[in-house]
């Protein structure tokens, strides 16, 4: 019996060795830079960083520090954001974290009295939290000047991250901030450029954004390999930008509160990120050869899926039918068929010939994410300051009446910690 067991084990080892001898070993993860499509066995060699520039972006946070929105699943919050960034950093080192503007306030003019004081305290919470989490670049927008230029400059002094803008000037005609910063990773130099729509605020001059952008691009062209624009912009300004031949690789918007599901199918992918920090956008720019455009994978996939669905609906369940033959005497329908088929062909060609690609992941900052404790403590400290200015004086008969302070950042009715 023992001899039989020994011979069976020996036979199994021999077969396994013979199988391995003909197997191809390598990285089997399609998302990796060194993915080997011929590999049969993963050898734990997958590299997720050497060819990828990762950017984590927010916009239109508007002074929100806690989760907000639908009561059953409030989204957002600085502490949850910190947890997400920690999880990403475990797999990808040195991701770039950016904000495209309108970070500090929800309105263009600071409300008087206690509402304004609360907003200012929230700014302190945001600054202290971002100093810990880290921020590669911040491009201020109109709402960030809600409390005035002097106030913004006072919080710049507290901030341990760079403010950038290529078209906001002081009254001496000097740029208020550096127009861009350049960071390096994987041998590539990435320029982050700040820009804002035109607005009026005491003590500053906001010049034409597209003219300013053109001037900056002349300057950074020889200094950088990739150019990322952080733009607090109106729809009109974006439409004008689309008609310009600007050498940009990605545009991240604020002011517009839409949530993009792809880069829009434009030559330069353009993304709007929603508002109040409810979502983080995680962009991966995979670079093989410089000077080639970045193909928006999500847009291609969605375009193909949408066009195929439209064509299949016309077939009414008969997938073998020839639509062009059926509708040969219906010019309007035939035109739609050609348009759908052309869209599929165009998107497939982009995918097949893609040299550089951009993909994104829209991360919902939901209640399943545990807030990071140190950031929760910063938020609580600020909430106590707000409580001091908003709680009526309940000193009855000279005796202070303590008020309970409930920590309920996820909105579930139960204290968090």
Q: How many domains does the chain have?
A: 2
Is residue 166 predicted with pLDDT exceeding 50? yes
Residues 236 and 340 in one domain: no
Residues 286 and 304 in one domain: no
Q: What's the rounded mean pLDDT across residues 155-181?
A: 97
Q: What's the rounded mean pLDDT across residues 122-149?
A: 97
Residues 266 and 305 in one domain: no
Residues 228 and 345 in one domain: no
Judge whether 417 lies within some domain.
Answer: no
Judge whether 161 lies within some domain.
Answer: yes
What is the pLDDT, as a whole number, of residue 17? 53
The Cα-based distances of 22 to 15, 27, 98, 197 in angstroms read: 11, 16, 47, 61
Q: pLDDT, tens digit, for every residue of 275-284?
A: 999 999 999 9
Residues 201 and 59 in one domain: yes
What is the pLDDT, as a whole number, of residue 252? 98
Q: Identify the CA nearest to 278 among candidates 361, 364, 362.
A: 364
What is the pLDDT, as a whole number, of residue 405? 47
Contact of 164 with 210, CB cutoff 8 Å: no
Bigger pLDDT: 46 or 372?
372
Question: CA-CA distance, 358 to 149, in Å (whole number)?
Answer: 36
pLDDT band for 38, please (50, 70, 90 cuts).
confident
Q: pLDDT, tens digit, for every residue of 101-120?
A: 999 999 999 999 999 999 99
Secondary structure of 304-317 as H, E, C letters? HHHHHHHHHHHHCC
Judge whether 407 lies within some domain.
Answer: no
Bigger pLDDT: 51 or 417?
51
Q: What's the rounded mean pLDDT across residues 202-210?
A: 96
Q: pLDDT, tens digit, for every residue of 243-282?
A: 999 999 999 999 998 999 999 999 899 999 999 999 999 9
pLDDT band for 410, please (50, 70, 90 cuts).
very low
Q: What percent of the chain has pLDDT over 70?
A: 88
Judge whether 370 lies within some domain.
Answer: no
The structure's pTM equals 0.84
Judge whether 253 lies within some domain.
Answer: yes
What is the pLDDT, as a whole number, of residue 417? 45
Bigger pLDDT: 49 or 104?
104
Judge whether 377 lies within some domain.
Answer: no
Residues 148 and 67 in one domain: yes
Question: CA-CA distance, 399 to 182, in Å (whole number)?
Answer: 58
Judge whether 70 lies within some domain.
Answer: yes
Question: CA-CA distance, 179 to 194, in Å (whole number)?
Answer: 6
What domain range is 186 assigned to?
Answer: 52-292+355-364
Residues 247 and 142 in one domain: yes
Judge whether 410 lies within some domain.
Answer: no
Is residue 95 predicted with pLDDT exceeding 80? yes
pLDDT band for 396, please (50, 70, 90 cuts).
very low
Contact of 315 with 323, CB cutoff 8 Å: yes
Q: pLDDT, tens digit, for every residue of 283-338?
A: 999 998 888 889 999 999 999 999 999 999 998 878 888 888 888 888 999 999 99
């Amino acid at each position: 019996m023992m001899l039989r067991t020994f011979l069976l084990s020996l036979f199994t080892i021999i077969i396994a060795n013979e199988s391995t001898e003909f197997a191809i070993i390598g990285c089997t993860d399609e998302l990796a830079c060194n993915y080997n499509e011929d590999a049969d066995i993963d050898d734990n060699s997958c590299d997720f960083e050497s060819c990828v520039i990762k950017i984590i972006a927010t916009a239109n946070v508007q002074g929100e520090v806690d989760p907000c929105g639908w009561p059953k699943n409030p989204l957002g919050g600085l502490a949850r954001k910190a947890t997400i960034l920690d999880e990403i950093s475990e797999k990808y080192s040195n991701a770039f974290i950016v904000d495209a503007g309108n970070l500090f306030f929800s309105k263009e003019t600071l409300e008087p009295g206690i509402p304004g004081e609360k907003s200012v305290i929230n700014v302190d919470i945001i600054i202290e939290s971002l100093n810990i989490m880290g921020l590669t670049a911040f491009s201020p927008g109109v709402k960030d000047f809600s409390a005035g230029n002097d106030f913004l400059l006072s919080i710049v002094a507290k901030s341990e991250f760079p403010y950038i803008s290529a078209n906001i000037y002081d009254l001496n005609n000097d740029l208020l901030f550096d127009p861009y910063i350049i960071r390096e990773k994987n041998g590539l130099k990435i320029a982050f450029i700040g820009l804002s729509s035109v607005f009026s605020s005491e003590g500053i001059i906001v010049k034409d954004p597209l003219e300013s952008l053109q001037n900056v691009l002349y300057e950074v062209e020889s200094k950088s390999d990739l150019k990322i624009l952080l733009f607090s912009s109106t729809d009109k300004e974006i439409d004008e930008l689309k008609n310009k031949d600007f050498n940009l690789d990605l545009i991240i918007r604020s002011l517009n509160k839409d949530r993009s599901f792809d880069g829009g199918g434009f030559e330069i992918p353009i993304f709007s990120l929603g508002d109040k920090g409810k979502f983080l956008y995680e962009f991966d720019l995979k670079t093989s050869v410089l000077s080639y455009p970045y193909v928006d994978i999500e847009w291609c996939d969605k375009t193909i899926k949408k066009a195929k669905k439209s064509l299949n609906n016309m077939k009414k369940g008969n997938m073998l039918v020839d639509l062009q033959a059926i509708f040969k005497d219906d010019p309007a329908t035939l035109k739609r068929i050609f348009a759908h088929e052309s869209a599929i062909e165009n998107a497939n060609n982009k995918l097949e010939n893609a040299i550089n690609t951009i993909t994104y992941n829209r991360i919902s900052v939901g209640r399943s994410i545990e807030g990071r404790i140190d950031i929760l403590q910063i938020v609580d400290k600020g909430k106590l300051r707000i409580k001091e200015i908003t709680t009526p004086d309940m000193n009855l008969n000279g005796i202070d009446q303590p008020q309970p302070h409930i920590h309920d950042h996820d909105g579930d009715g139960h204290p968090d910690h």
